[in-house]
């Protein structure tokens, strides 16, 4: 079972120890977790950035950096990664499904936003299969922005 918990003393080192595949690292599809944790620390004053460990059966298998934008009523999935040794087992999908359920339960959240680096076809396919739709191109980072409208989802349920 997937669980999402804020990174704390008990999960900090496990999150740092997670590695991505060499191919993903070369392509720069995912920033290292040390960078994500540094970003979370840097933006901590806002109180809207949540470094979150992804657990499967009590073991840290991945990491997601979330940001809550209250003005836009959205969760922004800043980064998400599953450790190399856990990839290919559907954990990324399960983690995103858990995030979607968490966002739906938050009355302050109307949609989820994510992006992926151009060329990361696995992430594009995963987000698309979960109902995210492309909304634009972020030239500076060579990323494609995607959005999942949760209110639209509820109407279709």
- Longest alpha-carbon distance in the chain: 41
Determine the straight-line distance between the first and last CA of the chain, rounded to whole angstroms. 23
Average pLDDT, the chain: 90
pLDDT in tens, 33-43: 999 999 999 88
For range 91-96, the mean pLDDT: 97
Greater confidence, 22 or 120?
Answer: 120
The whole-number pLDDT of residue 98 equals 96
Asked if 52 and 64 touch (Cβ cutoff 8 Å), the reply is yes
* Burial label, 61 (beta-carbon count in 10 A; 0-12, 13-18, 19+): buried
pLDDT in tens, 81-93: 999 999 999 999 9
Q: Which CATH architecture has domain 2-156?
A: 3-Layer(aba) Sandwich (3.40)
Q: What are phi and psi of 133, to 5 degrees?
A: -125, 140
For range 63-75, the mean pLDDT: 90
Q: Which pLDDT band, with edges at 50, 70 and 90, does 21 fall under?
A: confident
CA proximity to 63, closest of 3, 131, 1, 123: 3
The conformation of residue 142, written as its DSSP 8-state character, comes to T
Q: Which residues contact 149 (CB under 8 A, 6 or more apart)?
A: 110, 111
pTM above 0.85, yes or no: yes
**CA–CA distance, 6 with 127 (Å, rounded to integer):** 23
pLDDT in tens, 103-135: 999 888 999 999 998 889 999 999 999 999 999
Residue 23 has pLDDT above 80, yes or no: no
């Amino acid at each position: 079972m997937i669980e999402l918990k804020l990174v704390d003393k008990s999960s900090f080192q496990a999150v740092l120890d997670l590695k991505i595949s060499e191919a993903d690292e070369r392509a720069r599809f995912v920033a290292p977790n040390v960078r994500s944790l540094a970003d979370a620390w840097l933006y901590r004053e806002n109180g809207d950035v949540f470094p979150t460990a992804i657990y499967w059966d009590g073991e840290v298998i991945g990491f997601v950096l979330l940001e809550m934008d209250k003005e836009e009523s959205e969760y922004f999935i800043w980064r998400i990664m599953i450790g190399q040794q856990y990839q290919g087992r559907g954990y990324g999908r399960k983690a995103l499904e858990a995030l979607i359920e968490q966002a739906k339960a938050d009355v302050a959240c109307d949609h989820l936003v994510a992006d992926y680096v151009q060329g990361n076809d696995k992430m594009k396919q995963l987000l698309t299969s979960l109902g995210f739709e492309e909304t634009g191109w972020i030239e500076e980072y060579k990323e494609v922005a995607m959005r999942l409208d949760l209110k639209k989802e509820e109407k279709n349920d």
